[in-house]
């Protein structure tokens, strides 16, 4: 590719997606529905001072394709993007998103607002999902530097973007995670309580949804846990996450395998 | 029969070169230099928002002298080129030399075929790693590309500034010394430039993927002591 110069009226501006589109870097989706979509559970919970995100690590097709997939990635320092749906499309969306936020920053010398980042994804998801059987549904959460709060944005299949003020879930394990979150959520959660609730909700999803991987004590592979706050995107260490799930597991054994009492 | 005035190619080139040089000389100059841990770009720039120095990629920075709108468009094209190359292949495949060559080709084309030559001089700085060396590529208005060994000066009066800088800095120095020498070279013996009128960017490894950072007025003042 030569030097991409544009005249003032055809300039794609600071949007990498628009530039990639005009220069043919991204192609319109054209695939068959037989490509596998990975089933998932990703959870985002808002707390006082930020957002906690938890995701399982399993990629499922007709069989378990991978046990250590990362479904949450930093989109930039203060934003995380989680993905559910077709792995190929989701990874491309992630790549485009990360690049776009950085591209905007370099082109304009300023960072996008969190709401700007959330809205930016809408047309990209819309075009993918309305023209391809390979559906991708992301979840965006971040620390809003102008308002100093954590915020969560979820999307529907057609690209509609909705802000959630409590919690949000995506993936096939959503109903089970959602049930736990509905019972356990309070608006005054602190970081620790949000991490505990998020882990429990993921545990429930892993327990009931065949396509969601719970904690894997055999291989020491545990769900991803991430916090977004004024310090930016931070991932909890494998050991710390493992410890949290060990505690939940122990409690569950003591209660004879039933969930009752877990949400004390 | 139409009027056709013959202009010798030598004359045409000379006129175009003079035109471009005049335009570039109107702007203020900048110095780019390699210091012990990276690359520093120091521009005299009274504006805090219209940048002359900026980030192109993880290990590549850009500096422009001359007409702002012209070099800023080249800056944007450079970012697009780098981001799309990294997207298509891999981040490590984005090479400053390749970008400098594209700039040289474009400036060369504009010089010979354009309505008017671009009144700019640009610099592509690359911070080295295992794959590539640390380099300063200077691209002149007519597309001449040069690989400057330790430092480069862009803009009007560049020869004088070059001599001053070369005299004060004979070998690679730490950041604060190089910054001081660059400032003195830009200002000359009769003038002082306040820290707020300096735009300073550096490429340095600090454990992050992106190595470019802008130094604030406070950081610049502190380094100058």
In tens, the pLDDT along A62-75 reads 777 788 889 999 99
Domain count, chain A: 1
Contact B97, B135 (CB under 8 A): yes
Distances, alpha carbon B185 to alpha carbons A28, B152, B182, B195, B215, in Å: 53, 12, 5, 14, 19
Q: Do B102 and A2 touch (CB under 8 A)?
A: yes
Residue B206 has pLDDT above 80, yes or no: yes
Nearest to B36 by CA among B176, B219, B163, B147: B176
Distance CA B11, CA A259 (A): 89
Please state, as a whole number, how many other Cβ atoms lie within 10 Å of the Cβ of residue A7. 7
Domain count, chain B: 1
CB < 8 Å from A in window 195-224 of B: 210
**CATH number assigned to the domain comprising residue A201:** 3.60.20.10
| All residues at 6 or more sequence positions from B112 whose CB lies less than 8 Å from its CB, including other chains | none
Residue with tokens 């070059």: B162
Note the pLDDT of residue A205: 94
Residue A34 has pLDDT above 50, yes or no: no
Q: Do B51 and A109 touch (CB under 8 A)?
A: yes
Tokens of B101: 């060559």
Cross-chain CB nearest to B81 (options A1, A99, A107): A1
What sign for the dihedral angle of Cα B19, B25, B30, B32?
positive
Residue B89 has pLDDT above 70, yes or no: yes
Q: Do B79 and A103 touch (CB under 8 A)?
A: yes
Note the pLDDT of residue A29: 59
CB-based contact (8 Å) between B103 and chain A?
A: yes
Q: Do A1 and B84 touch (CB under 8 A)?
A: yes
B5 in a structural domain: no
Q: Which residues pair with residue B35 across a beta bridge?
A: B38
Tokens of A177: 């995670």
Distance CA B36, CA B30 (A): 19
Q: Do B76 and A107 touch (CB under 8 A)?
A: yes
**Chain-centre distance of CA A35, in angstroms?**
21
CB-based contact (8 Å) between B97 and chain A?
A: no
Contact A4, B80 (CB under 8 A): yes
Residue with tokens 């959870």: A43
B115 in a structural domain: yes
| All residues at 6 or more sequence positions from A198 whose CB lies less than 8 Å from its CB, including other chains | A43, A45, A52, A53, A54, A225
- What is the distance in angstroms between the Cα of B214 and the nearest Cα belonging to chain A? 11
Region of poorest pLDDT, from A33-42, B74-83, B101-110, B201-210: A33-42
Q: Do A106 and B54 touch (CB under 8 A)?
A: yes
Query: Which pLDDT band holds residue A30 (cuts at 50, 70, 90)?
Result: low
Q: In the predicted model, what is the mean pLDDT of residues B53-65?
A: 98
Nearest to A86 by CA among A33, A26, A30, A28: A33
A168 in a structural domain: yes
Residues in chain A within 8 Å Cβ distance of B78: 3
Q: Which residues of A are catalytic?
A: 40
Distance CA B62, CA B72 (A): 10
In this structure, what are the phi and psi dihedrals at residue A223, rounded to the nearest 5 degrees? Answer: -55, 160
A25 in a structural domain: no
* Average pLDDT value for chain A: 90
Q: Is B72 left (phi over 0), alpha (psi -120 to 50) or beta?
A: alpha
B11 in a structural domain: no
User: What residue of A is the nearest CA neighbor of B74?
Assistant: A5
- C-alpha count within 13 angstroms, C-beta hemisphere, residue A49: 11
Query: Which pLDDT band holds residue B1 (cuts at 50, 70, 90)?
Result: low
Distance CA A94, CA A100 (A): 10
B31 in a structural domain: yes
Distance CA A263, CA B165 (A): 70
Q: In the predicted model, what is the mean pLDDT of residues A119-140?
A: 88
| All residues at 6 or more sequence positions from A192 whose CB lies less than 8 Å from its CB, including other chains | none
Q: In the predicted model, what is the mean pLDDT of residues A128-148?
A: 90
B7 in a structural domain: no
Range of the domain at B81: 26-224
Which of A4, A6, A74, A77 would best serve as a mutation to test chain B binding (most B beta carbons within 10 A)?
Answer: A4
CA dihedral B4→B9→B10→B12, nearest 10 degrees, is 70
> B156-168: b or e for each residue (b if 16 or more CB lie within 10 Å)?
bebeebbebbeee
DSSP 8-class letter at B155: S
A204 in a structural domain: yes
Tokens of B83: 């981001």
Note the pLDDT of residue A68: 87
Tokens of A29: 């989706």
**CATH number assigned to the domain comprising residue B37:** 3.60.20.10
Residues of A with a Cβ under 8 Å from any B Cβ are 1-5, 16, 19-20, 23, 25, 95, 99, 102-103, 106-107, 109
Range of the domain at A164: 36-254
Contact B84, A4 (CB under 8 A): yes
């Amino acid at each position: 590719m030569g030097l991409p110069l544009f005249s003032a009226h055809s300039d794609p501006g600071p949007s990498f997606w628009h530039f990639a589109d005009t220069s043919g870097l991204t192609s319109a989706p054209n695939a068959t529905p037989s490509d596998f979509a990975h089933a998932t559970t990703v959870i985002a919970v808002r707390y006082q001072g930020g957002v906690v995100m938890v995701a399982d690590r399993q990629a499922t097709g007709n069989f378990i394709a991978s046990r250590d997939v990362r479904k949450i990635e930093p989109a930039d320092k203060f934003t995380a993007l989680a993905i559910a749906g077709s792995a190929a499309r989701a990874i491309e969306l992630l790549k485009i998103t990360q690049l776009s936020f950085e591209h905007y920053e370099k082109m304009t010398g300023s960072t996008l607002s969190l709401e700007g980042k959330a809205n930016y994804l809408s047309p990209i998801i819309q075009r993918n999902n309305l023209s391809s059987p390979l559906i991708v549904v992301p979840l965006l959460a971040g620390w809003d530097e102008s308002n100093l709060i954590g915020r969560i944005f979820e999307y529907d299949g057609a690209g509609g973007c909705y802000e959630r003020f409590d919690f949000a879930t995506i993936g096939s394990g959503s109903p089970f995670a959602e049930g736990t979150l509905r019972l356990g959520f309070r608006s005054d959660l602190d970081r620790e309580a949000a991490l505990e609730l998020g882990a429990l909700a993921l545990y429930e999803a892993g327990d009931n949804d065949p396509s969601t991987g719970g904690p894997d004590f055999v291989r020491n592979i545990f769900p991803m846990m991430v916090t977004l706050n004024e310090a930016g995107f931070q991932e909890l260490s494998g050991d710390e996450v493992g410890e949290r799930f060990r505690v939940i597991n122990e409690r569950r054994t003591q209660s004879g395998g039933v969930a009752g009492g877990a949400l004390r | 029969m139409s009027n056709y005035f013959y202009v010798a190619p030598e004359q045409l080139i000379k006129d175009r070169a003079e035109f471009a040089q005049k335009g570039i000389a109107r702007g203020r100059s900048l110095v780019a230099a390699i210091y012990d841990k990276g690359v520093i770009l120091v521009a005299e720039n009274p504006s805090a928002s219209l940048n002359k120095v900026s980030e192109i990629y993880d290990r590549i920075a850009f500096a422009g002298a001359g007409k702002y709108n012209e070099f800023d468009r080249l800056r944007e094209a450079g970012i697009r080129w780098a981001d799309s190359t990294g997207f298509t292949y891999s981040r490590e495949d984005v090479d400053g030399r390749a970008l400098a060559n594209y700039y040289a080709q474009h400036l060369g084309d504009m010089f010979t075929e354009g309505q008017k030559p671009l009144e700019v001089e640009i610099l592509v700085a690359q911070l080295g790693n295992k794959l590539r060396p640390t380099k300063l590529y200077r691209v002149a208005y007519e597309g001449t590309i040069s690989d400057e060994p330790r430092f480069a000066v862009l803009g009007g009066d560049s020869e004088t500034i070059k001599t001053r800088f070369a005299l004060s800095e004979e070998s690679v120095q730490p950041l604060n010394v190089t910054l001081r020498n660059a400032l003195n070279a830009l200002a000359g013996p009769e003038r002082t430039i306040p820290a707020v009128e300096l735009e300073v960017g550096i490429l340095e490894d600090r454990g992050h993927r992106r190595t470019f950072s802008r130094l604030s007025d406070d950081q610049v003042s502190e380094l100058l002591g």
